[in-house]
Amino acid sequence: MQPAVKRIIFYVLLFALWEGAVYVFEVSPALLPAPSDVFVSLYEGFSNRTLIYDLGASFRRLFLGLAIALLLGVLLGVLLAKSKTADETLGSLILALQSVPSIVWLPLAIMWFGLNETAVIFIVVLGATIVMTINIRTGIINVPPLFIKAAKTMNYRGLRLFTKVTMPASIPYAVTGLRLAWAFAWRALMAGELLSAGPGLGYSLRFASDFGDMARVIAIMILIMLIGIIVDLLFFQRVERKVLRKWGLATD
Amino acid sequence: MFLTINNLNKSFINKGSSELVLSNINLDVREGEFVSILGPSGCGKSTLLSIVAGLTSASEGNIELSGTPIKGPGKERGMVFQQAALFPWLTVLENVMFPLLPVMSKKEAAEKAKHYLQMVQLGSYTNHSPHEISGGMQQRVAIARALAMDPALLLMDEPFGALDEQTRSRLHEILENIFIETKKTILFVTHSIAESLKLSDRIVVMGTQPGTILDIIELDFPRPRSQSKEELLSYEEKIQALLKSEIDKVTEKEQKHAASR
Bridge partner list, B8: B25
- Going by C-alpha positions, the residue among B188, B177, B108 that lies closest to residue B148 is B108
Domain extent at residue A115: 35-246
Of 3.40.50.2000, 3.40.640.10, 3.40.50.300, 3.90.650.10, which CATH number belongs to B3-76+153-259?
A: 3.40.50.300
Distance CA B100, CA B109 (A): 6
Would A143 be classed as within a structural domain?
yes
DSSP 8-state class, residue B70: P
- On chain A, the residues whose CB falls within 8 A of the CB of B131 are 245-246, 248
Query: Which residue of B lies nearest to A250 if distances are taken between CA atoms?
Result: B131
Nearest Cα residue in chain A from B85 = A147
**Which pLDDT belongs to residue A197?**
75
Q: Is A73 inside a domain boundary?
A: yes
Encode pLDDT of B195-242 as tens digits: 888 888 888 888 777 887 777 877 777 777 766 666 777 777 778 777
Write out the H or E segment, with its range, that includes residue B156. Answer: strand B153-157
Of B73, B87, B131, nearest to A153 by CB-CB distance is B73
Q: Are A195 and A183 in contact (CB under 8 A)?
A: no
CB interface of A with B, residues 162-221, below 8 Å? 164-165, 168-169, 171
* CA-closest candidate to residue B209, choices B237, B238, B239, B251: B251
A145-168 pLDDT, tens digit per residue, is: 999 999 988 888 888 899 999 999
> CATH no. for residue A151?
1.10.3720.10
Residue A29, in any domain of the structure: no
The nearest alpha carbon in chain B to A164 belongs to B98
> Given a cut of 80, is residue A59 above it in pLDDT?
yes
pLDDT digits (tens, 9 = 90+) for B62-103: 888 887 888 888 888 889 998 889 999 998 999 999 988 888
Number of folded domains in chain A?
Answer: 1
ipTM computed for the complex: 0.84
